Amino acid sequence: MNTKIQKTLKWIAITAVAGMAGAVMVVCAAYLYLAPLLPSAETYRDVQLETPLRIYTSDRRLIDEIGNRRNPVNFEDIPQILTNAVIATEDVRFYSHPGVDLQSLGRVFYGLIRGVNLGGGSTITMQLAKILSFDSDNLYLRKLKEIPFALQIQRELSKEEVLTLYLNTIYFGAGADGIGAAAYVYYGKEVSELSLAEAAMMISLLPCPSSCNPLSSPTRAIERRRVRLANMLNEGMITQAEFAAADREPITAKRRNRDIAISAPYVAEMVRQQLFDEHGEQAYTQGFEVVTTIDGERQLAANKALVEGLETYYDRRHGYRGATANYPQDLYADQTGDASIAWADELQQMPVLGNQHPAIVTALDDLSFEAVLKSGETVKVEWDGISWAYKFNSRNDAWPPPQVAADAVQVGDLIRVKNTDGAWQLGQIPDIQGALVSMSPTNGEIIALVGGYDFRRSQVNRVITPRPPGSNFKPFLYGAALEQGYSAATTINDAPLTRGGYRPNNYENNFLGPITLRYALKESRNVPAVRLYDQVGDDKVLAFAAKFGFQTQNFPRNDLTIALGSQDVQPLEIITAYSAIANGGYKVEPWFIKEISNLTDGYIYKATPVTVCENCPSTLNNDATDIIPAPRIIDPQIAFILNSMLRSVIEEGSGARVNREIGRSDLMGKTGTTNGPQELWFSGFNRDIATTVFVGFDQPEPLGEREQGATIAVPIWIDFMKMALQDMPENTMKRPDGIEDRLINKTTGTPATPGEPDTIFEYFRTENAPTTDGALPSIDPASVESEELSTETIF
């Protein structure tokens, strides 16, 4: 029997030794395989300062901060209460293990066998190993590497160096990498100045820096801070009195970075992309500061004009599309029947878009309802905020109107609400989009830019997205005609026209006979525009438009629909072209960055834009301190007459609302409405500011048969320009030499005598001014050769 036992024990011992030897061999083989893959101390020992990219308005108000902040500190600067807090919470045996805690790993393994969570097994050193590398590896390979890397780190660094490196590299939320940046971002302090309560709060962030921080979740943050203080108390690191005093401390954290003053996310993205193209990832870490051309107050006005305009001038007029979803009260109610807390939790991940707050309806009355916001606040919406909600049936049909609140909403409905002048209203996020861009005709600097309803909803920048401009393109057709010897008084026949299979129509579906070019542009008549394009010729029209920056090399030839704006162009291209009319015929280029600096080199870029300078020499000056004169692209006489014709649009045409609501004599502009209608435009200017507004769906579809540029784009433009022009004197292009005015018949364009009815003073270039014995001849359309043309009609 003893012999059998001895043999059994012998085999057990042999098996154990073999197993241990095998395990050692596997570990050694794994280490030999992994060792060359592990970073060396030189690659991670020194943590570099990181300062994010900061983007400002022209008056240095923050637009955005992109990237994280890192301000490395030395071990001597880290207070004992902070190192105690992290050790008590993350790794109580930190000073007694070699980087890997076998006891903790064994506990984790035992928990896995039993199917229970007995806590984590990662040490501070293992967490540091995870932070420093292996991000691109798969989960299992990364875990396999962490253990030997942690052992290597502990051999190469002291415990104090490990703690310092860990606290300098771990993410604390709010854009703060490392404790140095976190102390500043949350408390505006040096690390050495942190109190016990603040140190415990900092360490409480480590597992969940975004969702646990005191800025977004103060209640949860206090609870987590209490746990960290209790850990320190249990380890004898603080006294009961110190625990109680720190636990009573209120939250004093306040975000001190990314304190955005002016919302201009589409501008920020344009800046970010340019900096990244030039500097790569360093754009986000090397302390770049970019001062843009954006005017802060005008940007705020542009944001408000576009957001509220899309809601008020379009979306509400087409009816209420209903709730997004319904959260039944019986599924969310607590023991008292109250579901508001659970509903508020559901709202936490839903952002505010535009000025529309997510809310869930909690109670209904006949002519009002109550709803809970994501903050937990309950608001009341009265009938004045509900009565607009006609039932949406189609873009052309919103009916019937609501009679009671229940016709619009039900308890549990997920809706949107907005606050207007202190009163809450039922809202909805528009499914239509738009853009607004404003620039200086003097040097092309972009004053304000909004690329869509809300950047968080869609990052597509519609200011640089090509769309058909409709009649917004017509001024460049008429400008080409002026350059070819036509005048604003030249008559052209508004009569049926067929070219090939193409028969253009007027918006009003009528014909007026012979009319002047001024009247044709003012009333945006389509058939005369097509006839004029046919007469002048696409080679001359497209060459003229190309001088303004339009990419006409991509436009088709022998297509008369170009006269009506059928070819895609960017709103930025449109406003650049209109700026050349506004400034008297000079080509300026759009730009948005004034200067760039960084921490290392100081100023590395300062803009030197081409600038309208009528008295400057025509040759460019390489001296950056001097003005670079903008090149002239059209004669000043043509620009002046175009200004005058576009003023008629404001005084009597489709832009007359501008005249009524702003009442300045220095504003010119033109509407644009494409077939469907699918796109709506208005571009207008004085000598100091030019602004374009675009409205349309991202996937083109009809907006509704009642819509045109004058119904939506014009009022948005007005809302912006009222503020943009505030306290600015009137300013227009000055009348150049070579312009004469003649009294003519307003309808026929023929010379008139004082006292005759229906007359105006018309501007002419001196060489084209009519004599007293007759007006300039009208153009004979029969002399123009027919062409095969597109069948698309654009109004």
The answer to whether residue 90 is catalytic is yes
CA 653 to chain centre: 33
Q: Which residues contact 345 (CB under 8 A, 6 or more apart)?
A: none
CA 782 to chain centre: 51
The bridge status of strand 289-292 relative to strand 53-56 is: parallel
The bridge status of strand 628-629 relative to strand 610-611 is: parallel
Place of tokens 């839903």: 350
CA distances (Å), origin 397, targets 109, 319, 677, 712? 66, 8, 16, 18
C-beta separation of 592 from 598 below 8 A: no
Cross-strand pairs, 591 = 445
225: number of Cβ within 10 Å: 26
Instruction: Note the helical H segments in 59-138.
Output: 80-90, 102-114, 124-132
**Of 57, 80, 260, 257, nearest in space to 177 by CA:** 257
User: What's the farthest any 2 CA atoms get from each other in the chain?
Assistant: 142
C-beta separation of 748 from 491 below 8 A: yes
C-beta separation of 386 from 368 below 8 A: yes
Distance CA 244, CA 223 (A): 13
Token representation of residue 171: 């993410």
Distance CA 522, CA 515 (A): 11
Give the CB-side neighbour count of residue 26, counting CA atoms within 13 A: 7
Token representation of residue 553: 């090399």
Q: Side chain identity at 293, as an amino acid letter?
A: T
Look at the alpha carbons of 26, 32, 36, 40 in this order and tell me if their dihedral is positive or negative.
positive
Distance CA 94, CA 74 (A): 19
CA angle 63, 67, 72 (to 5 degrees): 125
SS (H, E, C) 599-614: CCCEEEEECCCEECCC
Cross-strand pairs, 292 = 593
Of the candidates 50, 65, 90, 707, the residue annotated as catalytic is 90
Place of tokens 């590299």: 169
Which strand (E) or helix (H) includes residue 596? strand 593-598
CA angle 383, 388, 394 (to 5 degrees): 145
**Of 541, 497, 533, nearest in space to 517 by CA:** 533
299: number of Cβ within 10 Å: 26
Q: Side chain identity at 344, as an amino acid letter?
A: A
Give SS3 for 359: strand
The DSSP-derived string for 742-767 is EEEETTT--B--TT-SSEEEEEEEGG
Residue spans of beta strands (DSSP E) within 459-570: 491-494, 513-516
Token representation of residue 522: 């003012």
Backbone phi, then psi, for 99, in 5-degree steps? 110, -25
Token representation of residue 744: 């003519």
Backbone phi, then psi, for 760, in 5-degree steps? -145, 160
Of the candidates 204, 340, 471, 683, the residue annotated as catalytic is 471
The answer to whether residue 160 is catalytic is no
Supply the residues annotated as catalytic: 90, 471
